[in-house]
Amino acid sequence: MVFNGLPKPTSSNSLLTSQDYSQRVLSERNQLEQFLRFHLVPDTTLLLPVSQLTEVLTIPLGQIVPIPHMPPWVMGVYNWRGEILWMVDLGALLGLTPHAHQAQVTPVYRGLALQSVAESSTTAKVHRQLLGVVVSRVEDIEWCNPSEIQSPTGAAVTANLAPFLRGYWLQPQGDMVMVLDGESILAAMPKP
């Protein structure tokens, strides 16, 4: 019997003792990290570390207030839990299809609230930065070993995508998925 890629010890299989098997499975699980899988139109599947996310958002159309004189990928602001949350069109930021060029099939935006928490080295203050990104579809959680994320080749990455890309992950079924870095997306926001 095989479980999680390891042969499960049985009375007839003495390759691993039950204790060795348990320790090996725990070791593998400790190396895994959760990533949220989501989709951008037309056919781009991406991952973001769950540790960099606060919430999956459902925003009614018309609730994002445009702000003039911002880059085209900044959609505006949204009142989220009493806070002003800047909203970014992730497709446009990455050089993919902008949300405005997609057919609207639902009366809501799908989005993700990214977070960055940084401690100041000079004070004991913790600085929390938030940013909302609009995506086409939120799919599921993937477990991935971060050491399996491979660096992208220069020819396969556009200039718009490169600053936000952590790498590629090859799924067990053979699909290649881009892994983004939320910190890089947060850093791209214009400074007031």
Cβ pair 113, 80 in contact under 8 A = yes
| Residues β-bridged to residue 150 | 168
80 vs 106, residue with greater confidence: 80
Q: Which of 45-59, 81-95, 146-160 has the lowest mean pLDDT?
A: 146-160
Angstrom distances, CA of residue 127 to CA of 71, 139, 182: 25, 30, 16
Percent residues over pLDDT 70 in the chain: 75
Q: For position 100, what pLDDT does the model report?
A: 81
pLDDT digit string (tens) for 132-157? 999 999 999 999 998 898 887 666 67
- Contact criterion met (CB below 8 Å) for 56 and 63: no
Q: Which residues contact 163 (CB under 8 A, 6 or more apart)?
A: 184, 188
Backbone angles phi, psi at 136, to 5 degrees: -80, -45
Domain range summary for the chain, segments of one domain joined by +: 33-187
**What span, in angstroms and rounded, lies between the C-alpha atoms of 110 and 63?**
12
Task: Work out the average pLDDT over 15-21.
Answer: 59
pLDDT at 27: 52
Tell me the C-alpha distance between 110 and 136, whole Å: 6
Q: Between these two residues, 20 and 57, which has the higher pLDDT value? A: 57
The pair of three-digit structure tokens given for residue 82, joined into one six-digit string: 């009493």
118 pLDDT band, cuts 50/70/90, is low
Look up the CATH number of domain 33-187: 2.40.50.180
- Whole-angstrom distance between the N-terminal and C-terminal Cα of the chain? 59
Supply 116's token pair: 């960055």
Q: What is the pLDDT of residues 162-186, one digit of tens each?
A: 899 998 988 888 888 999 999 999 9
